């Protein structure tokens, strides 16, 4: 399916979750930065089931900025779904993503667009070189995660946690995000051959509110999604090389153990006689039972997880079914 052609020059997608204190500062600042670019634009704020007055604040801000569009979810679906909804509704030739907490500086947007145009890149990722966050709880885990992801996925970026990105319209319309894959947008983009660049950007302290997640709660999900992305990057079109390799290894190990036990039984009979041969029981040997149990369960669980991931992607993409439910869309039509 050919993506619809963009109607505007620029779309800015902002996931929002309980950010009533940050939005009154961010939206006017963002509008001022976009007006200086002398281009047609829209701001898409996706409310991810906020429990505070974020939607009311956004509706009030629409009176000052009519190009602000507000998408309200019926409940909290997560940041990945919020990005996905913003991408579906975006009409710009270039799509910018950023956080609603004010830590991303709208003044960095022109630099992202400049690098994108100069290098003919499909995606330009922000790189927060001087992060205003604690070292042990945020910076260090982020450095370790970025190093691990870069070496696993072969997409070498310094800062995947930066939401400030610029992406080509066609690239965004071809991407499908599920689970928690918003953290792996560059990796998902690389699946379809995107050209990716990285630009240093400003990281500012949060003006209001608090972070919605911590390193401890985020780490398990990142690891699981990293396994998924690594599989999609390396084996999505040749899964037998992965499953076949695991199967050969596990089968070879199982046959080696059984061969050893059978040889030990025969050798025991030759050395100590028929009674010793009969007393050495392979079928009830705990090592045999443990080896078979672990091998079968490990292969089954791994295959069920990865096959389930493929089935999920097929289900959504075949039906073009979104992973969110929109309650209302607030926008002011300009005459």
Cβ atoms of 42 and 73 within 8 Å: the answer is no
Render pLDDT for 85-135 as a digit per residue (tens, 0 to 9).
999 999 999 999 999 999 999 999 999 999 999 988 999 999 888 776 666
For residue 22, pLDDT over 80 is answered with: yes
User: Which residue in the block uniquely carries the two structure tokens 């009830």?
Assistant: 284
Average pLDDT, the chain: 82
Partnered with residue 153 across adjacent β-strands are none
CB-side neighbour CA atoms (13 Å) of 300:
6
For residue 276, pLDDT over 90 is answered with: no
Give ∠ CA 146-44-145 in degrees, rounded to 5.
5
User: Which residue in the block uniquely carries the two structure tokens 């080509």?
Assistant: 168
148-157, 236-245, 286-295, range with the lowest pLDDT: 236-245
Burial of 245 (0-12, 13-18, 19+ CB in 10 A): exposed
Confidence (pLDDT) at 109: 96
Neighbours of 306 (CB within 10 A): 19
Render pLDDT for 30-43 as a digit per residue (tens, 0 to 9).
999 999 998 999 99
d(CA 22, CA 206): 8
pTM: 0.74
Render pLDDT for 196-249 as a digit per residue (tens, 0 to 9).
999 999 988 877 766 655 555 566 777 777 777 777 777 665 676 677 677 777
Confidence (pLDDT) at 315: 67
Confidence (pLDDT) at 4: 66
């Amino acid at each position: 399916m050919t993506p619809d052609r963009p109607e505007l020059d620029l779309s800015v997608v902002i996931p929002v979750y309980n950010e009533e204190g940050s939005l009154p500062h961010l939206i006017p600042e963002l509008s001022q930065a976009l007006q200086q670019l002398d281009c047609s634009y829209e701001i898409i704020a996706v409310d991810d089931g906020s429990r505070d007055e974020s939607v009311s604040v956004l509706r009030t801000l629409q009176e000052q900025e009519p190009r602000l569009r507000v998408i309200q979810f019926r409940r909290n679906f997560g940041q990945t779904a919020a990005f996905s909804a913003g991408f579906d509704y975006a009409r710009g030739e270039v799509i910018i993503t950023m956080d609603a907490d004010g830590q991303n500086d709208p003044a960095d947007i022109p630099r992202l667009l400049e690098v994108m145009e100069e290098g003919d890149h499909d995606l330009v990722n922000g790189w927060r070189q001087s992060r205003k966050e604690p070292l042990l709880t945020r910076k260090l885990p982020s450095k370790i995660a970025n190093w691990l992801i870069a070496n696993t996925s072969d997409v070498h970026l310094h800062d995947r946690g930066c939401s400030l990105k610029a992406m080509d319209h066609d690239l965004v319309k071809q991407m499908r995000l599920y689970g928690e894959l918003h953290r792996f947008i560059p990796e998902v983009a690389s699946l379809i051959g995107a050209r990716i660049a990285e630009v240093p950007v400003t990281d500012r302290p949060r003006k209001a509110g608090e972070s919605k997640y911590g390193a401890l709660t985020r780490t398990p999900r990142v690891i699981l999604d990293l396994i998924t992305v690594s599989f999609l990057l390396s084996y999505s079109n040749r899964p037998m090389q992965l499953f076949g390799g695991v199967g050969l290894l596990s089968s070879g190990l199982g046959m080696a153990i059984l061969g050893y036990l059978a040889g030990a039984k025969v050798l025991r009979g030759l050395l100590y006689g028929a009674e010793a041969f009969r007393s050495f029981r392979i079928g009830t040997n705990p090592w045999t039972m443990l080896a078979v149990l672990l091998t079968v369960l490990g292969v089954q669980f791994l295959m069920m997880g990865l096959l389930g991931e493929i089935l999920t992607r097929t289900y959504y993409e075949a039906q073009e079914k979104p992973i969110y439910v929109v309650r209302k869309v607030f926008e002011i039509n300009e005459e």
